[in-house]
Structure formats: C-alpha cells, structure tokens
Amino acid sequence: MAYDLLKGKRGIIFGALDENSIAWKTAERVHEEGGTFVLTNAPIAMRMGQIDQLAKKTGSEIIPADATSVEDLENLVAKSVEILGGKIDFVLHSIGMSINVRKGKHYTNQNYEWTQKGTDVSAMSFHKVMQTLYKADAMNEWGSIVALTYMAAQRVFPDYNDMADNKAYLESIARSFGYFFGKDKKVRVNTISQSPTPTTAGQGVKGFDGFIAYADKMSPLGNATALDCANYTITLFSDLTKRVTLQNLYNDGGFSNMGVSDQVMEAFVKE
C-alpha cells in the first residue's frame, strides 16, 4: 500500500546490488511512495549485480561512484542535484564489506590492510558521503540520512568479525556528524539496526543460516525482512519523523531487548 509519503522528494540510494538487497527494496518502496532518486554503487558491484533492471523499473538514473573516493562523491552529489532538479531530501547508505570475512581470516588473525579497506568502505565512507553533502550544501532542510547497521556493534557475535567494529564506528559517525547536520542544516541522521537478513552480503558471514534461525526464535515478532527495513526507512525519509535524529533504531522483531525466549530454552531443557 502506498501513501504518497515521499511525493516530490529527491534522494540518493547507495548499495542496491540485486533484488535481495535492502537498498533495492527501499528503492522500490521510495518509487511507490512518489520519491525520485539516483542509484549509485561501486563500478565492480554494478558489474556483479542487476542495478540496470532496478533503474528501468523505477525510472532512475545510475551514477557509478566509489564511496571511498571524495572525488567520486563530489561528482555524484553535483550530478544528482542536476538530474533530480534540486537539492536532496533523503540518502540511504547501504554499504558494507569485510575482506577478512570474505577470505575466512579469524578476528584474532586479521590482515590489517584488509581491515583498513573494510573500515573505509563500511564506515568512513559514511563520513565522506555526509561531509560531501554538507560542504556542497546539497541537502534540503528537514532532509533525512539513514545508514544500515547491525547489533554486533553493541554485542559479541563471534563470526561477524571486524564488521562489528565497522558498524560501531558507523553508528558513532551518525551521531557525531548528525549533531552538526542537525544544528547547522536541520538535517536528521539515523541508523537502522536490522535483523540478520539473507542479502548477498549477509550470507557471506560464517554460520549465517544457523544464526538467522536463532534470531528468529529469539524475537517475539520474528526476524524483520528486507522489505520491513525498506518500510521503516520510508518513515524516516518522510516528514512524519522530523524530530528523530542521532538515533540507532532497532528493526529486529524485538531481538535487541531479549535475554532468552521459550523457543530457545526448549532446545536446552531435557524432557
């Protein structure tokens, strides 16, 4: 169901890869709610994914950009404002990558060059995106910037590896930059801490299937889907959440407030 929540609003969506991506689902929902946007991803990710299909479906243009390159981001922001015909109202940062995870390096045996690359892509890129928007004065007042995160930023999930550190850094950047963006430009900045979601990126984490089943049994409402996350993001892009900023918002079926659930206990209680 559509409510025209984003009618007349313009934005940039980072990170749509394929139809499993939260960014992909968000782009579809933004389109349904009347928003227009530019799609962007790293050139290598674009070759792997099907972003062209999404652009066609939503009538959007694609601007390739490496989110770790300030030069690429400056070009992206300038072109987006030009293509969309005005300043930006919403931005989704849906980017994360760990070479240590991908290559099976244990947290206690990291390749630090890989760690640094992962931090740059997963967290520092968020600062670079916001700094570029801020310096260019490219955001409208009451605009909204959202980044996607995960609860491993607060609690230990052993196989999430250095991505946990990246997400903690990302959330801190959201608060710190969000203060200045709010005070100076009336732009709000939040992160959504999403349930484990079977995206192409998420499935790269070791033991993912077991964990997704565990989280589902722990959460009174079950795991939030990619579409649930897209819908939540829409509310944050809309004018209905004008005073919500500097928040890390859990979209996880209640998982983050659980100690243990009946369903999980059943696995340990002998009849």
207-240 burial code (b ≥16 CB/10 A, e <16): ebeebbebbbbbbeebbbbbebbbbbbbebbbee
Query: Which tens digit of pLDDT belongs to each residue from 226-242?
Result: 999 999 999 999 999 99
Query: Which tens digit of pLDDT belongs to each residue from 116-173?
Result: 999 999 999 999 999 999 999 999 999 999 999 999 999 999 999 999 999 999 999 9
pLDDT at 207: 79
Query: Which tens digit of pLDDT belongs to each residue from 34-62?
Result: 999 999 999 988 888 799 999 999 999 99
Global pTM value: 0.97
User: Which pLDDT band holds residue 64 (cuts at 50, 70, 90)?
Assistant: very high
Residue 67 has pLDDT above 80, yes or no: yes
Q: In whole angstroms, how far apart are CA 51 and each of 87, 216, 222?
A: 24, 30, 29
Catalytic status, residue 150: yes
- Write down the CATH superfamily of domain 10-206+224-259: NAD(P)-binding Rossmann-like Domain (3.40.50.720)
From the CA atom positions of the chain, what is the Rg in Å? 18
172 assigned binding-site residue: no
pLDDT at 49: 78
Mean of all residue pLDDT scores within the chain: 96
Query: Which tens digit of pLDDT belongs to each residue from 102-115?
Result: 999 999 999 999 99
167 assigned binding-site residue: yes
pLDDT at 271: 64
Q: Catalytic pick from 150, 214, 232, 250?
A: 150
Q: Catalytic pick from 160, 214, 232, 250?
A: 160
Q: Residue count of the chain, please give it.
A: 271
193 assigned binding-site residue: no
pLDDT at 204: 67
Sequential DSSP letters for 29-83: HHHHTT-EEEEE--HHHHHHS-HHHHHHHHT-EE----TT-HHHHHHHHHHHHHH
What is the rounded CA–CA span in Å between residue 9 and residue 38? 12
**Tokens read off for 241:** 């959440």
What is the rounded CA–CA span in Å between residue 271 and residue 265? 12
